Amino acid sequence: MIKVSLCDDDSSAIKKYEHLIEIIALTNRIDISISIFTSGQNLLFHLLDTPDFADIVYLDILMGSSNGLDIAAKLRKHGCKAEIIFLTTSEEYVYDAFDIAPVQYLLKDNTTNDKFAQVFLRAVSLVLKKSHDMFVFESGGVSMIIPTCDISFFEIWKRIVEVHYEGGKTIKFYKSLDKMQEELKDKDFIRIHRSYVIHLPYIAKFDKRNVILKTGENLPIGGTYYDSVKQAFSEYAMKSQSLQFIK
């Protein structure tokens, strides 16, 4: 089941988009549940304790005293990995939304039903992809599974690999670098140093010497890796560009 949260202080907008989501889900045979919130604070209250409560979150930006961007940032900070779709009346905040990594920034007055359906189905596909995209390894004789999206980087020393995930957790295991890189192929990982393989979505900024991750770690870039890191990040940024205006 896909769990959808719809947050808007406009009751007419809530009714309109709830109905539209139900029709799209029915047409495409998608099992969904929809939770309604009329303020960002109410949404925050429910999701902070249970960040997996929502798979897709529709957020208005201008809601009385609360700002949807601030709400989304707090959700991300507390581990909410839901696909966020901003549904609002103003283009003013589109560039501020980049840090949230939303699926889309939709303008209410200029979004057709077909476009709304397209964005919803894309969000569903991302949710389903995440649910099946796992990194599997063995540590201490026990098989372990970590969602790939939770992994920020791998640290390698000879055949000992330490995976860093969920903003601070680590587990060590044995695996050859070649085998690990083959398993991570096409999953947005890049080697930046003989000792580090990082997950591109976690990059906050980098220069010729260091990569700073969104989790706070500062990792060195090997001299021979800078060009490949720069190209990989550029390609990732282009691929993940999801902020489109509806004219």
- Residue 137 DSSP SS3: strand
Residue with tokens 């720069």: 230
Pairing of strands 218-220, 203-206: unpaired
Q: Which residue has the higher pLDDT, 247 or 140?
A: 140
Q: In the predicted model, is pLDDT for residue 243 greater than 80?
A: no
Q: In the predicted model, is pLDDT for residue 237 greater than 90?
A: no
Band (pLDDT 50/70/90 cuts) for residue 242 is very low
Domains and CATH numbers, the chain: 2-132 (3.40.50.2300), 134-239 (2.40.50.1020)
Q: What average pLDDT does the segment 19-35 reach?
A: 92
pLDDT (0 to 100) of residue 239: 67
193's tokens: 């140093």
Residue with tokens 């060009």: 227
User: 16-25 burial, b for 16+ CB within 10 Å, e for fewer?
Assistant: ebbeebeebb
Model confidence over 205-226: pLDDT tens digits?
A: 999 999 999 889 999 999 899 9
What's the CA gap between 72 and 66, in Å, rounded?
Answer: 11
Does the reported pTM lie above 0.75? no
